[in-house]
Amino acid sequence: MLKIKNLHASVEDKSILKGINLEIKPGEVHAIMGPNGSGKSTLASVIAGKEDYEVTDGDIFFEGQDINELATEERAHKGIFLSFQYPVEIPGVSVTNFMKTAINETRKAKGLEDMPAKDMLKLIREKAELLEIDRKFLSRSLNEGFSGGEKKRNEIFQMAMLEPKLAILDETDSGLDIDALRIVANGVNKLKSKDNAVLVITHYQRLLDYIVPDFVHVLYNGRIVKSGTKELAHELEEKGYDWIKEEVNA
């Protein structure tokens, strides 16, 4: 589904990703872990197509197509979703209206008619239930005055609404208490199928107890320096990242 080859990316001439190779197949859950500043969020943004980052070398293929030249929204239309670490507040635009716009713009891009209002409401109700989101919450302005946990839950709600093929969760666990974490993870797990994939980006192993990865990769200094199974995450939790750094630097 996603194939990244020798990806180099920089921002304002500062090289951040220095040769990433990663392949994600349908049905898989991958986790990328690593110390602060290793390039985790940059990788997420580059896959989603943030314009501040310049891809200086390498390729990103999504379902066999080179997506490097595609705009952010075109990647979204193809089924790439990024759950933000810091979701942006949009005053005056309710969660419901925001989702209507996102869904109908995606449908428009695919040559489909707007979703009938009745179906939209039904879909919103279903997905809100899945994430235990109160109806009143949906008429509030997007992310405005939301707690950290509400913002993250709302990100996963958007993911549920948009039903992406590849969901990238960037530090979705930060700022979540244990109950919110369980609800969010539960939502992600229920949305998982053999046809879609999840890329979890996290500093801590905590979330991976709930969203169990098939593969764990360690990102350090712009490269994936170690890959393994979920046991690797436990090892990192116990021993920290220093031993990885030592191994790499040795």
User: Which chain residues interact with another protein by CB under 8 A?
Assistant: 45, 48-52, 71-73, 75-77, 81-82, 84, 87-88, 90-93, 97-98, 100-106, 109, 114, 141, 158, 162
What are the distances in angstroms from CA 170 to CA 79, 199, 202, 242?
A: 16, 8, 7, 22
| Residues β-bridged to residue 217 | 32, 227
Nearest to 79 by CA among 163, 168, 18: 163
Q: Give CA–CA dist 61/47, Å, rounded.
A: 10
Contact 210, 222 (CB under 8 A): no
Residue 203 Cβ, how far from another protein at the closest point, in Å? 20
Residue 161 Cβ, how far from another protein at the closest point, in Å? 9
Residue 112 Cβ, how far from another protein at the closest point, in Å? 12
Residue 77 Cβ, how far from another protein at the closest point, in Å? 5
Residue 105 Cβ, how far from another protein at the closest point, in Å? 5
Residue 84 or residue 215: which is nearer to another protein going by CB? 84
Residue 64 or residue 91: which is nearer to another protein going by CB? 91
Q: Give CA–CA dist 249/73, Å, rounded.
A: 39
Residue 172 Cβ, how far from another protein at the closest point, in Å? 14
Residue 40 or residue 75: which is nearer to another protein going by CB? 75
Residue 146 Cβ, how far from another protein at the closest point, in Å? 14
What are the distances in angstroms from CA 50 to CA 14, 43, 68, 203, 221?
A: 16, 10, 11, 21, 20
Residue 98 or residue 215: which is nearer to another protein going by CB? 98
Residue 159 or residue 211: which is nearer to another protein going by CB? 159
Measured on CA atoms in the order 203, 207, 26, 109, is the torsion positive or negative? negative
Q: Give CA–CA dist 17/10, Å, rounded.
A: 7
